[in-house]
Structures are given as structure tokens and as C-alpha cells.
Amino acid sequence: MSGLTRFLGDSPLRVFLKLLVVSFLVGVVMSAFGWSPFDVLQWIEDTLLRIWNMGFATVDRFVGYLALGAAIVIPAFIILRLLSYRR
């Protein structure tokens, strides 16, 4: 198996034909919905920005939950370790 075939996962001609068919099908679907490549890129950018903006609130909430849980779990862990240490 040549290096190119190993890299592509199949013979170059078969990969080319598969990409050609998939590209055609994706083009038909995008045309049916009236999408352009720019619309897709804009959607990806908007999604990433929403995730970024939502992420900080999520991290803040996560840290709060972590602190609340740790206030119970850490002392309970220490008590259980001390009780099992005596045995």
C-alpha cells in the first residue's frame, strides 16, 4: 500500500469519486435550502460566539456547584478516612 493510499484510506480515484458524489449531494441539499457557503460560515461563527458567551456563565455556575458540593464531600471524606484509619 503506497503512502498516498494509506493517507487517503482508499485508492486516489475511488476517493475522488466518493468526494465528487458527496459534493454533488451536499450541493443539491444546500441549493434546496437556499444556503451558500458564506451562510454556513456565518452560522458557524454565530454558534461559536454563542457558545463562547454562554461558556463563561456556565463556568461560573460550574464553579459554584463545585464549591457547594465540596463543602459537604471534603469534610465527609476526611471523617470517613479518619474513622477507617482507627481500624
* Judgement on whether residues 41 and 76 belong to the same structural domain of the protein: yes
The parent domain of residue 2 ranges over: 1-34
* Judgement on whether residues 45 and 83 belong to the same structural domain of the protein: yes
pLDDT at 87 over 70: no
Nearest to 15, CA basis, from 31, 2, 32 = 2
* pLDDT tens-digit series, residues 21-48: 999 999 999 999 999 999 999 999 998 8
Q: Work out the mean pLDDT of the chain and round it to a whole number.
A: 88
Whether the Cβ atoms of residue 40 and residue 33 lie closer than 8 Å to each other: no
* Judgement on whether residues 30 and 40 belong to the same structural domain of the protein: no
pLDDT at 82 over 90: no
* Judgement on whether residues 28 and 11 belong to the same structural domain of the protein: yes
* pLDDT tens-digit series, residues 6-15: 888 889 999 9
Three-class DSSP category at 24: helix
pLDDT of residue 1: 66
* Judgement on whether residues 85 and 46 belong to the same structural domain of the protein: yes
Question: Interior CA angle at 66 toward 63 and 71, to 5°?
Answer: 130
Measured between alpha carbons, how far is 87 from 85 in angstroms, rounded to an integer? 5
